[in-house]
Amino acid sequence: MAGWQEFRTSFGGVAAEYAALRPGYPADVVPFLLGPAPRRVLDLGAGTGLFTDRLLEAGHEVVAVDVSVGMLDQLRTRLPQVRAEVGGAEAVPLADGSVDAVVAGQAAHWFDVEPAAAELRRVLRPGGVVGLVWNTRDERVPWVRALGELIVEEARGHEADQGVVARFAAALPADVEVLDSAVVQSLTPEQVVGGIGTRSYVAVKDAAGRAEFLGRVRELLATHPDTRGRERLDLPYTTRAYRLAPR
């Protein structure tokens, strides 16, 4: 069984697919977290830069940090203007009081909360904020629910644990505000399969195990009445953003 550290660092081998096939973020998330004025923002666990895209669009200066060299290589190729550094939430490679905000898209469940909270307080300027965001497949849609039922045993314990927010709020400590939003991907069935292949619990499998599991996903999409014979699928996500204001 793969351990937490292996799952945490599993994305480098699927970095290109991650960049191409993971969903982005709704436009309303960044102003909710950061307000209208440009800020210097640490995108922590930035990966291939899917949330970095939104930060740049909103006019913010971004420093991207991730534990995976492979993921950052994708970010540097796509966004060469962004400073990108290898590092983790528990040892951020930035100076004290150097950013106005720290954000993490689809990443904070990989952080070790107590040392990470201390690092966030260290790098934040007075009045700074922390933003934590997750996309979650919207299983109110029947075929998406069927997909979730197929992968639940594989994913158990490795999907985003949004309870991490409460632990960060206590450790900082911080007051919390919440925004609910949504985003939809338009994908071919094979792109849906490929996107599942970027999940940590699939990325750590050997080639045979990965092929067998993704074959079951492919079969579901080929036979479910809502996806059978379709050339493109709308894959909906609910998005929840948390704005933590350290006290």
**What HEC string does 55-123 produce?**
HHHCCCEEEEEECCHHHHHHHHHHCCCCEEEECECCECCCCCCCEEEEEEECCHHHCCHHHHHHHHHHH
Indicate yes or no: pTM above 0.85: yes
Per-residue pLDDT of the chain (247 residues; tens, 9 = 90+): 444 455 444 454 577 887 888 899 999 999 999 999 999 999 999 999 999 999 999 999 999 999 999 999 999 999 999 999 999 999 999 999 999 999 999 999 999 999 999 999 999 999 999 999 999 999 999 999 999 999 886 665 444 556 899 999 999 999 999 999 999 999 999 999 999 998 877 877 889 999 999 999 999 999 999 999 999 999 999 999 999 999 9
Residue 85's Cβ-count burial label (10 Å; 0-12, 13-18, 19+) is middle
